[in-house]
Every structure is written in structure tokens, then in C-alpha cells.
Amino acid sequence: MIWDVLILVWIDYISALETLVAKHEDYYKQQAILYNLKESVDILPTNDVGEQLSYFKKLFLRYGADTVIASITNDIRFNNRQKAVVLIRASRVIGNIAEEGPSIESVFADEAIKMDTSDTVINNIYQAYLRAGDLNKVQQLKSQHSHIA
């Protein structure tokens, strides 16, 4: 009888811990990404596209796609349109070297569309979705933006 009660209490305790971990998982993931950015001694180059591409590759291979995205979206030297363009630029590089291949470009395109919805950026996002093979996003973008061919 007492063992049954102890087991039920233990199950409730484990369940509460799992809920707590799930609740704070995003926070700790963001903290890890920010720590990666602090640890990295390199700074995203603003002018030289070639240097940007090597920066993205190095950052991705060391920390992953989330850190590359955060390095762009948190950079106060760029306005939102520039961030969107740089995200698409990074997506091409990462799509060529990532294990998952070009499909990872959708993640970058999703972030880029949050930054800017000008025609030029939308066309580049459309191309990124095509390279990623994300046909649902292609259709969604076409229905929202009639100027896409």
C-alpha cells in the first residue's frame, strides 16, 4: 500500500519535472545560442560578401543554423531589410554544406520573411523555398504575393 503511494508520488514528481523542463526549454536554447555568439570571436562582416560567406560557414559548422540566424537577426548594424537579404545569402551557403541539404534554406527563409516583405526580398525567399523543395511554402507565398511568377 505504501509502495503504491510512493510510486504515485514519484510519477507525479517526474511529470512535474518534465513539464518544468519543457516550459523552459526555449529559454535555455536561446541562452545557449547567445552564449555561442559571445564565445565566437568573429563578427559578421558588413561589406565583403565573400567574408560573410566564410563567416556563415564557420559559424554553422561550429554552432549550427540557429546560431547563424541569431547572429544576423540580433545584429544592430543592419536594418530589417538588410537582415532579410543576409539571411537569404546565408541560406545558400548553409544549404550547400548542411547534412540535411538545401531543405534547411526554408528555416532561413522563414526568418527572412519576418524581417521584410518587399518585392525583392519576397522573390529571394521564393527562390530559397524552391531550392529547399518546400512546395507548401512556395504555394503559400504565391497566394499571398501575386507578383511572383
pTM of the model: 0.74
CA angle 142, 143, 148 (to 5 degrees): 30
pLDDT single digits (tens) 50-88: 888 888 898 898 888 888 898 899 888 889 999 999 999
Percent of the chain with pLDDT over 70: 89
pLDDT single digits (tens) 1-15: 676 766 777 777 788
User: Is residue 85 within 8 Å of residue 91, measured between CB atoms?
Assistant: no
Residue 136 is placed in which grid cell?
507548401
